[in-house]
A and B are shown apart, each in its own frame.
Chain A
Amino acid sequence: EPEVTQTPSHQVTQMGQEVILRCVPISNHLYFYWYRQILGQKVEFLVSFYNNEISEKSEIFDDQFSVERPDGSNFTLKIRSTKLEDSAMYFCAGLGRQEDYGYTFGSGTRLTVV
Chain B
Amino acid sequence: EDQVTQSPEALRLQEGESSSLNCSYTVSGLRGLFWYRQDPGKGPEFLFTLYSAGEEKEKERLKATLTKKESFLHITAPKPEDSATYLCAVRSLNYGQNFVFGPGTRLSVLP
Contacts and interface: CB of A to CB of B under 8 A. Distances in A.
Contacts of B41: 89, 107-108, 110
Contacts of B32: 99
Interface residues of B, number: 23
A48 B42 contact: no
Interface in B26-45: 32, 34, 36, 41-45
Contact of A107 (B42, B91, B98, B103): B42
B39 to A, nearest CB: 10
Contacts of B49: 99-102
A48 B98 contact: yes
At the interface, is chain A mostly helix, strand, loop or mixed? Answer: strand
Interface residues on A, range: 20 to 34
B43 A48 contact: no
B43 A108 contact: yes
B100 interface: yes
A56 B101 contact: no
Given A43-B44, A107-B42, A108-B43, A102 B36 contact: yes
5 tightest A-B CB contacts, nearest first: A105-B43, A102-B46, A43-B101, A45-B98, A102-B34
